[in-house]
Structure 1
Amino acid sequence: MQEIEGYSTDIPIISHLFPFEKLKCRLLAKPLVYPFTFAVNMIRTLFLLSLIWLISCSSDSPTAQDIVDKAIEASGTQKLNDATASFIFRDIRYTYSSENGKYAYTRIQTDSIGNEVKDVLTNQGLVRFINGQKSDISEEKRAAYTSSVNSVIYFAFLPKSLNDDAVNKSLEGTIEIDGKSYYKIKVTFDVEGGGEDYEDVFYYWFDMEDYSMDYLAYSYNEEDEGTGMRFRVAYNTRKIDGVVIQDYKNLKPKIKDSTPLSEIDQAYINGELTKLSLIELDALEISF
């Protein structure tokens, strides 16, 4: 056996081998520095490929903000930032006005003795009028009226309000409901600017193809209603002056507290919810 100085091998060099076999033996007899260099280069290559893959994946995966932005655009509700509207909900008339960040929401109804009661909610707060005269109300009632008026407007023009300053959004994954794939978005609220019900939690399901908002759910904790949760299914979707308007089937769990809000979509799929009411907007008009 022939020893070759400086090579980490004891592979013999046999003089009578064919030239090809001699070459192969010499290639196998290279110093250890070459395998080491090759390994380093492979590691670098794999690292770069992994980095490219991660960047590609992150760029293809939308954020909660991306999804909400596309949903608002698809719904046309951004047009309501400077618009007026009116509609009837459960025999009560509501009006909406927004311009340059200033808003005015009104609720007009008739009480049990025939008085016209008008609540006007603006950036400055809520004022109640009875037969055109300003009425003194307690701060507790003012807060309750503010919450109820704001709630109706909020739901009427979703998903417009999901970009408000106090809103916190997170993508909770995807799910298939009735044969369609949805992004699942969780929404919570800051204390500052989140209103009286800032502790409420909402979920929204947006179609992964057209970004329609087909389902929503929320929890509540009210002094007069206690605690609970609701799941709403959109129907009667129509466009009015380029703005998507929807009615909803309002559902609740058949057994109270039988499922956490985060899993209410699965409860719906499993048939564990029951219809409570319908949320319908009538005589809706929009002007720009």
Structure 2
Amino acid sequence: MKNIAVIGAGTMGNGIAHTFAQNNFKVHLIDISDAALEKGLATISKNLDRMIAKEKISEKDKTNTLNQITTFTNLQEGVKGTNLVIEAATEHIDLKLKIFKQLGEYCDAATILATNTSSISITKIAAITNRPEKVIGMHFMNPVPIMKLVEVIRGYNTSNEVTEIIMQLSKDLNKVPVAVNDYPGFVANRILMPMINEAIETLFHGVAGVYEIDTVMKLGMAHPMGPLQLADFIGLDVCLSILNVMHDGFKNPKYAPCPLLVNMVTAGKLGVKSGEGFYDYSEVKKAEKISKQFM
């Protein structure tokens, strides 16, 4: 399994492509526009330069990694001849179902179909395909080249063979795979998002300010990043989407998004990606400073 397709050149997609390419996999990086692909490749190049600066890789390693990646704007062409397709598109169920229905038609019968979804049902996604036993979740953590965890999510029909292949593949990437079952939020976000939401509620009710809440969690609970800063880094729109999935899936009010989060997303304050969230990232240097903490 050395030919991989990654759908989506955004934050997660380019990170996944980077990781596979750096481990000598042939990667087809697919997005809807050349501009998105160019931006994704530029991010990969920049992240490789940081690794060179820290003497983790050489210039030759960078060149070899970039040479492993081929870009496509046509989905059918991009997935041709690949052993594994990893979807890393926007976290919207309708979009993912559309993509996976096409993948069922375009991909070879033996191709495994994976999704990097952080909360959406693998079983529901698999049901739209002609191969539900070959559909699985590979939830990478951001930033993908640095973070070790891969949450491997089995859908209701995912075969043992496919699960074992993906577990071993994750290890081949020098990651630590953890197998979990298909319930809203899986493990990572089922625990993380209620904490972030509670931090937002704490701010909403005036218990403390942004800096104070994050400082308590960093210094008191040994978290490397406060929950509000982490929410900015993830993207407040993504946090809201995940909470909505869990709220709908469990029918439990404890997963209901805080009104402050809903209002911020409606106002376009999405965190680092928009330049403002709980913190102000309007100056480029501020955003770069945040990013460098993880590279």
TM-score (norm 2): 0.24
Indicate the structure with greater strand content. 1
Q: Select the structure that is richer in helix.
A: 2
Q: What is the TM-score normalised by the length of structure 1?
A: 0.24
Please identify the structure whose Cα radius of gyration is greater.
1
